[in-house]
Structure 1
Amino acid sequence: MAIIKSLDLGSLESICKTLGETNNGLSGTEITKYLAECNIKDLQLNSTKWKRLYDALYSKQTEDRCSNNVLAFIKYVMRPSRHIHRKEWFENTRTELNYVLSFEGFELTESGELKQANKVQTFDEAEARAQNLRKTLLDRKIHPDVLAFCRAELLVDNYFHAVFEATKSIAEKIRVKTKLSSDGAELVEQAFSYKNKVPYLALNSLTTQSHQSEQNGFMHLLKGIFGTFRNTTAHAPKITWNIDEQDALDILSTVSLIHRKLDKVVEAKKMYEGQI
């Protein structure tokens, strides 16, 4: 393996603060376990979790004169199969780590791999992107549920992350409205399909061919969004798509339209029973 230069100590400190965050970070027991399994000595000079991590990783990086084992530790801790029961924590932590790692020219993918990424020099670069994107979207009267994803930490590398996270919010809104637990195309089918059954959600009364076509078209739109940005197997779009600001604006506008539609859907069963 090629030798990777040592991480900036500021970056290392931020990584340790993210992983060892007081309330939601790794537990003390987990820190002990993972350091031992990665053959990194736990100096135990501090009781504070993030400081314990920093002391151990700083010592290892200094001894190695490179960051290979530190990066390997991050990959080990962030292995997706380790966090199947706390997916939200995994995604939030990965986002925070990627903000820091982008200053080092790396990105932690959803599969838990580290890959090279465009190196960001200053937070101002990301903040400027976020402010510009937010202003333009406000001018477009974009749905407020979409604006939440125009954050600087999502834009340190490129616009893909803001778009990717915004599309995930669509699935979450459908799950909240239906109490379903699936995702992607399966979720869309379960929520909106009306063939031979009453759907969970309806855009309209579904009593005419035109109404049914609208419902069917909306299902295909949702499947297209999920198929492009929520491919949970290959994640090919994330690797190959270089989304610029104009792309992000257009896609987020579509996501905004979907949110507005979802805000107006009705529970089809209640509609048919005359409760709506």
Structure 2
Amino acid sequence: MPEFQQPWSYPVLKAIADVLADTSDGLTGREIGDLLLRLRMEDPIPMATKRDRLAEAFVARQNKDQSSKRIITFIVTAMEPVRYRNQPELFTYRQDRLNEHLAFVGLRVNDEGRVAKGAVARTLDEASRLATSIRDELRRRGCHPEVLRYCSVEVLKKAYFHACLEATKSIFDRLRRLTGASGDGAALVDAALALGKSGVPMLAINSLRTQTERDEQAGLANLVKGLNGLYRNPTAHDPRLNRTITEVELLEVLTVVSAVHRRLDGVPASRGGLS
């Protein structure tokens, strides 16, 4: 019997069932019933909660076969990409959660929805690291909530081109909320953060009493302008096919955007703006 078809422990079967039958993001009861019927799997407790129902169906079939083969088939069928054509972010979400548990049996769900061999995890940290998605990595880094609020859907869809656009837009939206100013781009940055002739910006990130603090203020303004020129303008104006954003670059961009939001935290609203 191939290694990846060996029987799985009950905790693994239960964890997989918990993901696929999750109350909020899992299969519906009808979908579970249809899949069990389609795959000719016994449904021992059809009136139980979705999670218990699916877990017991997995246990019953594995006990019958003495193999995890049919459970793998169930996962592959449930993760067929065509099912997620209108919700690609849901595919990624389930894929990440499944992989965190499948890592304990040396398997993973790939981007084609197939179950393939992967590295074996022996600890919770190893399982989390093997299954970590960009969204999870951003959370591990403590990415600012404003960044995730603006681009989490794009990240889950793996639409990195648009994730960069939405993340950089979040800065300008926040500047408008804090200042009550209109406008966009470099003009908005100058209005909100630049020292100007008076030396007193609408939003000051420090006391501006020393040259170092004034340099920090100017540096933040220049950083935001740089993000606008380097990522927001190109992604807004160039055709998507002419602009490729890798996972590494996306993480770098979102980390910088997060740092900008951190510097804006605690800055009081100015001139009628809302925090």
Q: After the TM superposition, which residues 117-196 of structure 1 pair with which residues of structure 2 at under 5 Å, given as runs?
A: 117-123=118-124, 125-126=125-126, 154-157=128-131, 162-163=136-137, 173=150, 183-185=159-161
TM-score normalised by the chain length of structure 1: 0.56
In 2: Cα distance, 1:160 partner to 1:174 partner:
12
Q: After the TM superposition, which residues 9-158 of structure 1 pair with which residues of structure 2 at under 5 Å, given as runs?
A: 9-44=10-45, 46-123=47-124, 125-126=125-126, 154-157=128-131
In 2: Cα distance, 1:8 partner to 1:121 partner:
14
Cα 1:94–1:17 change in 2 (3 A) is same
Q: Are the equivalent residues in 2 in contact too, given 1:118–1:157 (CA < 8 A)?
A: no
Structure 2 counterpart of 1:173, which letter? Answer: Y
Quick check: 214-223 or 75-84, which moved more?
214-223
CA root-mean-square deviation: 4.7
* 3-state secondary structure, aligned to 2:44: coil
Give identity over the alignment, percent: 19
- CA distances 1:113-155 after superposition (whole Å, capped 9, x unpaired): 22222111122x34xxxxxxxxxxxxxxxxxxxxxxxxxx642
* 3-state secondary structure, aligned to 1:107: strand
Cα 1:79–1:204 change in 2 (3 A) is same
TM-score normalised by the chain length of structure 2: 0.57
Q: Are the equivalent residues in 2 in contact too, given 1:45–1:52 (CA < 8 A)?
A: yes
Question: Larger C-alpha radius of gyration, 1 or 2?
Answer: 2
Q: Are the equivalent residues in 1 in contact too, given 2:167–2:257 (CA < 8 A)?
A: no
Aligned to 1:228: 246
Structure 2 counterpart of 1:228, which letter? Answer: T
Structure 2 counterpart of 1:227, which letter? Answer: I
Q: CA deviation at 1:206?
A: 9.1
Q: How many pairs were matched up?
A: 208
In 2: Cα distance, 1:113 partner to 1:170 partner:
31
- CA distances 1:56-112 after superposition (whole Å, capped 9, x unpaired): 221211222211111110111122221233444333322221111111111112331
* 3-state secondary structure, aligned to 2:187: coil
* 3-state secondary structure, aligned to 1:205: helix
In 2: Cα distance, 1:175 partner to 1:54 partner:
30
In 2: Cα distance, 1:114 partner to 1:221 partner:
37
* 3-state secondary structure, aligned to 1:155: helix
Quick check: 58-67 or 87-96, which moved more?
87-96
1:204 paired to 2:203: no
In 2: Cα distance, 1:108 partner to 1:156 partner:
12
Cα 1:14–1:190 change in 2 (3 A) is closer
Q: CA deviation at 1:33?
A: 0.4
Cα 1:14–1:260 change in 2 (3 A) is same
In 1: Cα distance, 2:166 partner to 2:119 partner:
39
- CA distances 1:236-261 after superposition (whole Å, capped 9, x unpaired): x9xxxxxxxxxxxx985653113345
In 1: Cα distance, 2:159 partner to 2:46 partner:
45
